[in-house]
Amino acid sequence: MPDLSEITYSQSATVAAFRDYYQFLTKLYLKESDVVEPPEGGWPLITAERLAGLKKDDEVIELFRRIPYVRGAHDDNPEVAPWTKMWDWESACRTLAAGKHLDTVRGFKLLTEGEYEDAVPSSVVGITHTGPFAECFLLDTEQGTISWPTWPECNQLIKSPDIEVVMDDAYEYCENEQEAEWRDPACWAIADFFKVLKDQFRKLAFIPISMEKVLGTYSGVLLRDGKLRNVLQDIYREHGWPDLDQYRKEECLEAVRKAVVEKFPEHTHLL
């Protein structure tokens, strides 16, 4: 297992990790147009002044300016893992620039850090849209890690033998217990974290049911309905997954839709 002392933060490597993960998802189920890239020089509307209320380090704001975002039609972002939508800071700053203050910067902090917001230091930011049943991923630009506070609920499947969690005990290095509580369940080096997620898709523990929705086999409907899980996994394998050279994306997603409509009409609301 790696030590924190062996991990360093790199903005360019972090941007590359986000981009690589999103490109992987476009090969599996996302529309290519759902991934939006920043212009040269970064997203111009994302500024430290506009997001001053977040009370984040300059390194965090600069990362916001450089990463691509996943954005569906009408800003209805598709999922990038079960119950997980990435937060779009460029869209948030467009809202602020337009003078629409229904969602304040303080509200954005709550939406991305959820119940952990009061125990998150300035070098850490939530990268997902949190909420009931939604996952919270917390990225630390000082450590170069991403933490997954709810990881113990699904760790039997999330474990990847070749990608190990950071071994340091958060209760030993954190300044307060509240921070240690969200850091302790599991954290990875940033690039390793995205490798873990990709591994779950490859072995079909994460299963896209459409271009917008992803189901997990460790809880929810696929845990309760093993027949649905098996049918969906078989469809993906029949269409070449996980061999990207053989995988037929459009045919596979249409076969998934058809199977749900015809064989599992009680689950069509998931499409």
Query: What is the DSSP code (8-state) at residue 144?
Result: T
For residue 87, count CB atoms less than 10 angstroms from its CB and return exposed for 0-12, middle for 13-18, buried for 19 or more: buried
Centroid of chain to Cα 133: 14
Report d(CA 64, CA 104) in Å as an integer: 17
Mean pLDDT of 17-42: 97
Model confidence over 84-131: pLDDT tens digits?
999 999 999 998 888 765 557 888 998 999 888 889 999 999 999 987
The alpha helices in 8-151, defined as continuous H runs, are: 11-28, 58-66, 89-97, 105-113
Three-state SS at 125: strand
Answer with the residue of higher pLDDT: 186 or 139: 139
The alpha helices in 39-187, defined as continuous H runs, are: 58-66, 89-97, 105-113, 155-158, 170-173, 177-183
69, 36 contact by CB (below 8 A): yes
The 10 Å CB-count burial string (b at 16+, else e) for 209-236 is bbbbebbbbbeebbeeeeebbebbbebb
Model confidence over 211-260: pLDDT tens digits?
999 999 887 898 888 999 999 999 999 999 999 999 999 999 999 999 99
The pTM for the full model equals 0.93
Q: CB 13: neighbour CB atoms within 10 A? A: 13
